[in-house]
Amino acid sequence: VMGGVARMLRVSLDLQEFHAMVPEAKERGFGRTFRSPCLWEDLVKTITNCNMKWSGTVTMNLRLCDKVGKEGSFPTPKEILAKSPEWLKENCRVGYRAERIYRLAQAVEGMDGVERLDLEWLEHPSRTQADAFSKLLSLYGFGNFAAHNACQLLGHFDSFPFDSETVRHFREKHGANGSHKFPQVAKMAEKHYSAFAPYQFLAYWFELWVGYEERRGSTSTRWAVRGDQKESTALFDVSTPKAPRAKRRRSAQANKSSSSSRRDDSKDDDDSDESRNVSRDSESTDSFLATSGAAHNNATPTKNTRCRGKKRRAREFKGDERDANKRR
99-156: pLDDT as tens digits: 999 999 999 999 988 899 999 999 999 999 999 999 999 999 999 999 999 999 999 9
Q: What is the pLDDT of residues 55-77, one digit of tens each?
A: 999 999 999 999 999 999 999 99
pLDDT at 290 over 80: no
pLDDT at 36: 97
For the chain, the average pLDDT equals 79
For residues 108 and 286, which has the higher predicted lDDT (pLDDT)? 108
Kindly list the domain boundaries of the chain, sorted by start residue: 2-245
121 contacts 127 by C-beta, under 8 angstroms: yes
The secondary structure of residue 225, as a DSSP letter, is B
- Which DSSP symbol is given to 245? H
The pLDDT > 90 percentage for the chain reads 62
- Listed range (9-13, 88-92, 292-296) with the worst mean pLDDT: 292-296
- Structural contact between residues 25 and 206, judged by C-beta atoms closer than 8 angstroms: yes
Question: How far is it between the farthest Cα atoms of the chain?
Answer: 150
Question: Over 70: is that where the pLDDT of 92 sits?
Answer: yes
Give the pLDDT confidence score for residue 217 in this predicted structure. 75
Q: Mean pLDDT across the stretch 4-17?
A: 96
pLDDT tens figures, 162-213:
999 999 999 999 999 989 999 999 999 999 999 999 999 999 999 999 998 8
**In this prediction, what percent of the chain has a pLDDT beyond 70?**
66
> Averaged over 312-325, what is the pLDDT?
54
* CA–CA dist 82, 112 (Å, integer): 15
Supply the pLDDT for residue 327. 46
Helix, strand, coil in percent for the chain, rounding step 5: 70, 0, 30
Instruction: Determine the average pLDDT of the residues in 19-30.
Output: 96
Phi/psi at 15 (5° precision): -110, 10
| The pLDDT of residue 289 is above 90 | no
pLDDT band at 216 (very low <50, low <70, confident <90, very high): confident
Residue 232 has pLDDT above 60, yes or no: no
Instruction: Report the Cα–Cα distance between both ends of the chain, in Å, rounded.
Output: 148
pLDDT (mean) for 253-282: 45
CA distance 328 to 326: 5
Which DSSP category does 196 fall into? G
Residue 271 has pLDDT above 50, yes or no: no
Helix, coil or strand: residue 237: strand
Residue 219: pLDDT band (50, 70, 90) is low
Helices 97-109 and 39-48 cross at an angle (nearest 10°) of 160
Q: Which pLDDT score is estimated for 300?
A: 43
Q: Which CATH class is domain 2-245?
A: mainly alpha
236 Cβ contact partners less than 8 Å away, ≥ 6 residues apart: 54, 55, 58, 223, 224
Q: What is the CA radius of gyration of the chain?
A: 41
Residue 226 pLDDT exceeds 70: no
Which backbone phi and psi does 107 adopt, to 5 degrees? -65, -40
pLDDT in tens, 305-316: 455 665 665 665
Q: How far is CA 208 from the centre of its chain?
A: 21
Say how many C-beta atoms besides its own lie within 10 A of residue 101's C-beta: 26
**Total Cβ atoms within 10 A of residue 99:** 16
Cα 248–Cα 249–Cα 255 angle in degrees, nearest 5:
90
